[in-house]
Structure 1
Amino acid sequence: MIRLLQPSDAEQYYALRLEALQENPEAFATSYEEVIRNKDAIKQYEKSFAQKNFYTFGAFEDEKLIGMITLLPESKEKLKHKANIFAMYVTPSFREKGIGYGLLDAAIKKARELDRIISINLTVVSINHGAKALYNKFGFQTFGLEERALKINNVYFDEEYMTLSLDKE
């Protein structure tokens, strides 16, 4: 089951976020250590999930959160036609079962419901071939590459910038 997360899901989200940062540190700009140091992280997630114009979807298996994705529409007047996807993750034992597809589909459908959104942007680490293949299935196209975008334990990772045009389909 995929649904919008509620403030009551914040603890499960926190646990899955920590898992994501440990399992795939190269996929996120935030580090595990940064999240652990934040003593108010769960309260911040509760606040975020209660906000309008902030959409975090979760995939659940037997009431346990196993996947997540955030769609964040831009709020500045000149950017309101765009949204960004962040923090997509599916726990490893549930990958390649259509959960990532379902999460991405839910985020894109929400963007379409908002009417004003004509493009969705995201970044993906260039070595994450599975994620890139999923994004390509939905029509995302790479429009740029940032070399050495992330540095983890003295290893650099490039990130691709991808976009999906909702008004050209």
Structure 2
Amino acid sequence: MLIRPLSSGDAAAFCFLQRSASQQPPSSDEPIMSDMYVRDADESCETLRSTAIRSTFGAFNKTELIGVASVQCHAIFEQRYVAHIWGVFVARHHRNTGVAKLLLAAAIAYAKSMQDVTCISLSVAADNVAAINLYRSLGFRETGSIFDDPLHEDVLQMGLFREATDAFDSATSLPAR
């Protein structure tokens, strides 16, 4: 398994994964790529370009892209201390194998390397128990709810905070696979 930042050369595989995700009916125990919109390969190239404030990580099984997770720091000066993880998705046949945890570890490490970041946030469907448990295992805690998300009845906001030093510092200290 290889986890690495995606680049414009991965655009076709990224689009294929998005399309396969958008064709799967959502259920409460499976993540969907709701924060990512199906794009063509040309449009995806810009999205996949890593910068000082954003990156999309991919998990590869040999040459197949099987999962993604993105992280982006707020560009607004007053909110530069917050990085947001979004678009976490693993192909159905690779779920429950630790892929999401490895992708999250990469995204968290990237966020922690950003200047001024003291909080890493994410949103998750409140009925997605598996994802919530995964986020909790990495040190995230609930910070609030949103009730008007059109895809789910309730969306849970979660955060990993620098003042919770042990969790923040150990969130990427995962055992070798």
- Secondary structure of the 2:154 match is strand
d(CA) in 2 for partners of 1:131 and 1:137?
10
Aligned amino acid, residue 157 of structure 2: Y
- Residue 157 of structure 2 is matched in structure 1 by 161
| Aligned twin of 1:128 | 128
Separation in 2 of the partners of 1:30 and 1:106?
A: 19
Per-residue CA deviation, residues 89-139 of structure 1 (Å, 9 max, x unaligned), is: 001111111100000000001111113111111110111111111100011
| Distance in 1 (alpha carbons) for counterparts of 2:138 and 2:164 | 13
Report the alpha carbon displacement of residue 24 of structure 1 after superposing the two structures with TM: 5.5
**Partner of residue 141, structure 1:** 141
Deviation at 1:76, TM superposition (A): 0.9
Q: How far has the Cα of 1:44 moved from its partner?
A: 1.9
- Measured after TM superposition, the shift of residue 157 of structure 1 is 2.5
Post-superposition Cα deviations, 1:11-31, rounded to whole Å, max 9, x if no partner, equal 100111122223254634458
Contact 1:48 1:54 in 2 (8 A): no
Identical residues among aligned pairs (%): 26
Structure 2 letter corresponding to 1:50: R
> Would you say the 8 A contact 1:83–1:117 is kept in 2?
yes
> Residue 70 of structure 1 aligns with which residue?
70
Question: Unpaired runs of 5+ in structure 2?
Answer: 166-177
CA contact (8 A) 1:150 1:158 kept: no
Task: Return the alpha-carbon distance in structure 2 between the equivalents of residues 22 and 85 of structure 1.
Answer: 23
What amino acid maps onto 1:4 in structure 2? P
- Please say which of residues 159-168 and 4-13 is displaced more in the overlay: 159-168
C-alpha distance in structure 2 between counterparts of 1:112 and 1:94, whole Å: 27
**Aligned-partner SS, 1:149:** coil
Letter in 2 for 1:73: C
Greater helix fraction, Structure 1 or Structure 2: 1
In structure 1, the partner of 2:5 is: 4
Decide whether the 8 Å contact of 1:4 with 1:57 is kept in 2.
Answer: yes
Kept in 2, the 8 Å contact 1:126–1:159? The answer is: yes
Report the TM-score when normalising by structure 2.
0.82
8 A Cα contact 2:34 2:87, kept in partner: no
Q: Tell whether the 8 Å contact from 1:29 to 1:150 is kept in structure 2 after alignment.
A: no
Q: Which moved more, 1:115-124 or 1:65-74?
A: 115-124
Please tell me the root mean square deviation across aligned C-alpha atoms, in Å: 1.9
What's the counterpart of residue 42 of structure 2? Answer: 43
Q: Any unmatched runs of 5+ in structure 1?
A: none
Greater strand share, 1 or 2?
1
